């Protein structure tokens, strides 16, 4: 059963066990530094705990909520790191677009990790490496129709996993 709110220290421990690895993975990906990523994950759980009463599973999953907090933490860390007075110099606020792009990239990459190896393999070979179906079929020792079929079921599996992760288009 998902926690109703993140109030007790035990709730935080459970949330950590379930989501810390993924949050950390994204933090490393977007910050490019394991030390900063640890800091970001720590700050994320501290903020989650402080705001624990406001978490409402009716609105969204715990995972989505934690990622939203992490996103803000990464923005804050990025700003502190850059600390450039862009406004005074006539510039604009640092864009969060690269971060949101990274977040989307992470979702798709995580979904790819969660689908079966066979499905991931054909998507990587045919889509990302752009190899002909016949060639991939020969390498895998299966008929070409099987590769085609795995591409279809791979995309379907990806769709299911993305839905489970709370992706909304």
Partner 1 sequence: MKTERCREWRDSLGAYALGHLSPEERAGIEAHLEGCAECRAEADSLALVSSLLPHADPERFGPPPQPPAELGDRIAARIGAERQAGRRRHRLRLGLASSGAVAAAAATALAVFVLAGDSGSGPEQHLAFRSLPPGVKIAATLEPRAFGTEIHMYVKGIRSGTLCRVFMRGPGGASISAGTFRYRWGGDAAAVLSSALDLSRAQALVVRAGDRTFVAPIGVSDTAMYDKTQEVTT
What angle do the packed helices 9-31 and 97-114 form, to 10 degrees? Answer: 110
**Residue 38 in the binding site for partner 1 (CB under 8 A):** yes
**Residue 83 in the binding site for partner 1 (CB under 8 A):** yes
Residues numbered 123-152 forming contacts with partner 1, rule: CB under 8 A: 123-124, 126-129, 133, 145, 148-149, 151-152
In angstroms, give the least distance from the CB of 8 to partner 1.
Answer: 10
Residue among 34 and 138 whose Cβ is closer to partner 1: 34
Beta carbons of 110 and 165 less than 8 angstroms apart: yes
Among 51, 49, 39, CA closest to 13? 49
**Residue 74 in the binding site for partner 1 (CB under 8 A):** no
Q: Which tokens sit at 102? A: 């990274």
Report the residue from 118, 155, 165, 166 that binds partner 1 according to the rule CB under 8 A. Answer: 155
Using the structure block, give the residue that is written with the tokens 């949050």.
23
Among 36, 34, 105, 32, CA closest to 73? 36
Among 135, 169, 136, CA closest to 154? 136
Which regions of the chain does DSSP assign to beta strands (E)? none
| Binding region for partner 1 (CB under 8 A) | 9, 12-13, 16-17, 20-22, 24-25, 28-29, 34, 37-38, 41-42, 45-46, 49-50, 79-89, 101, 104-105, 107-109, 112-113, 120, 123-124, 126-129, 133, 145, 148-149, 151-156, 158-159, 162, 169
């Amino acid at each position: 059963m998902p926690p109703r709110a993140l109030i007790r220290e035990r709730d935080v421990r459970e949330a950590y066990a379930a989501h810390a690895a993924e949050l950390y993975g994204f933090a490393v990906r977007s910050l490019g530094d394991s030390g900063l990523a640890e800091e970001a994950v720590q700050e994320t759980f501290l903020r989650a705990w402080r705001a624990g009463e406001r978490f409402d599973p009716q609105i969204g999953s715990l995972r989505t909520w934690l990622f939203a907090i992490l996103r803000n933490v990464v923005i804050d860390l990025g700003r502190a790191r850059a600390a450039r007075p862009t406004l005074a110099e006539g510039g604009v606020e640092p864009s969060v677009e690269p971060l949101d792009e990274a977040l989307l990239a992470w979702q798709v990459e995580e979904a790819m990790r969660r689908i079966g190896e066979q499905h991931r393999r054909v998507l990587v070979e045919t889509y990302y490496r752009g190899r002909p179906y016949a060639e991939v079929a020969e390498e895998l020792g299966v008929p070409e129709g099987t590769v085609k079929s795995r591409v279809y079921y791979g995309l379907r599996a990806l769709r299911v996993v993305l839905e489970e992760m709370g992706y909304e288009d």
